Chains A and B, each alone.
Chain A
Amino acid sequence: MPGLDFDVILQRWPEFLVGARATIIYSGISLFFASAIGLAVALARMSRVTPLRWFARGYIDFVRGTPALVQIFFVYFGLPAIGINLSAPTAAVVALSINSGGYLAEIFRGGIASVDRGQAEAARSLGMSGAESMRRIILPQAVLRVVPAAAGEFTNLVKGTSLLSTISVTELTRVAQVIVGTTFRPIEAYLAIAVIYFILNAFIAQGAVWLERRLMRAQGLIHV
């Protein structure tokens, strides 16, 4: 058995850097759109307009009930058949946002539902509209409660970007594949990107703790 050789891999660090940057950018942009989708779908899910509720329900169930890889293929290979041609990077962001939006919608809904009913009642009894009460009273409290679960979903999103290698988007996993193709060092290459993914997610976990404390402080829930 030939020994492990990390030198060959480490020499390729500029490519890993490019891959890591792409992974961060794809998951970051997708997180942004996924959050917007997630909030909209969560609110639709609780709307008094029945068709909106049905749509939201269908969206959530569909996204969570089908493989992310199939969703990516559908957007990239499927949509051109009906005249929608997206570049691979665009398709990547679209598919990941749609996917993650479904999970975030349920997380947000749970957060909103966890706020005591008395809060909305107090707001409405002051004369606030439903939207004002949601924006000023319910959502600020819900945000705080969903930080840990949303961070978990962000982690899933980062890991999910590895699926983009299948549509030839340059990101960490794709970079590793290419490097393996020329160096024939799969153990070293995949171990290297595993460590990078792990570090990225450790940052997310740490960031979530920081954000949670910051929000709590801003809302007067910790006093130091």
Chain B
Amino acid sequence: MSEPMVRITGLRKSFGSNEVLRGIDLSVEKGTTIAVIGPSGSGKSTLLRCVNHLDPPTAGSIEIDGEPMSLRPDAPYRRQEAQLNRMRSQVGMVFQRFNLFPHRSAIGNVMEGLLVVRRMAEPEARRIAAAMLDRVGLAAKMDAYPAQLSGGQQQRVAIARSLVMEPKVMLFDEATSALDPELVDEVLTVMRELAAEGLTMIVVTHEMGFARDVARSVVFMDQGVIVEQAAPQDIFVAPQHDRTRQFLRKVLHH
């Protein structure tokens, strides 16, 4: 099997004396989607935030396509920052609460990374951003500001904003949890298409249907560890651990 796109090794994360991630090992094969499920507070968001170092890990390593996310801590500060910025530009992140830039239009949001990080000329950035907005079904909303968009539209702009950087992997942290139920599908549809096109994704989600249909592999986390990882047809039908069974019973029958 080829080099994984994401390799997480021995990942630990503490906030003060509270150890939230307690030794995570996880690989994501190129072009596949992994779904991460688990109860509230189990460390799913922290796991994603450690992958792109929004929360720097306490221990362990993250590799993207064979390259370490961060340099060793004794490297000069400037070089560490440069490495982080370069690596982060290859890792897309979609947040539960969108975090669109309110002072930029939809297309302005999508162009921002191209202009600032990729240092692209404005006309080219605009062309690429427009094509990306079209791809997520928002060609008609390019000049709208976030405040003028529905939650589902905002989240699709946020996805476009990440995609336009051509990330090697996309991280989704409960991308549909803040949405009104009738707006969930438009976002899930985009995510399904991305998975089908072979984008590598780590998706933290409460949408078990999405996990079952799209994920190559489902990870069940509890209390900062991976309790169980299996193909969806296995984990949903015959979970191996009690904790997984209990969790699935709760979320599947409510």
Residues of A with Cβ closer than 8 Å to B? 116, 118-119, 121-130, 132, 136-137, 140-141, 144, 219-221, 223
Contacts and interface: CB of A to CB of B under 8 A. Distances in A.
B147 A220 contact: yes
Contact of A220 (B93, B105, B162): B105
Most chain B CB inside 10 Å of its own CB: which residue of A118, A126, A221: A126
Contacts of A140: 103
Q: Which 7 A-B pairs have the closest CB atoms?
A: A127-B89, A220-B145, A219-B103, A118-B99, A122-B99, A126-B113, A125-B93
A127 B85 CA distance: 4
29 contacts: A121-B54, A121-B93, A121-B99, A122-B158, A122-B161, A123-B112, A124-B54, A125-B162, A126-B117, A127-B86, A127-B87, A127-B90, A127-B117, A128-B85, A128-B113, A128-B116, A129-B81, A132-B116, A137-B101, A140-B103, A144-B103, A219-B102, A220-B102, A220-B145, A221-B102, A221-B103, A221-B145, A221-B147, A223-B148
Most chain A CB inside 10 Å of its own CB: which residue of B54, B95, B104, B116: B116
A126 B129 CA distance: 14
A64 to B, nearest CB: 30
Interface residues of B, number: 32
B91 interface: yes
Contacts, number: 80
Contacts of B93: 121-122, 125
Contacts of B145: 219-221, 223
A118 B103 CA distance: 14
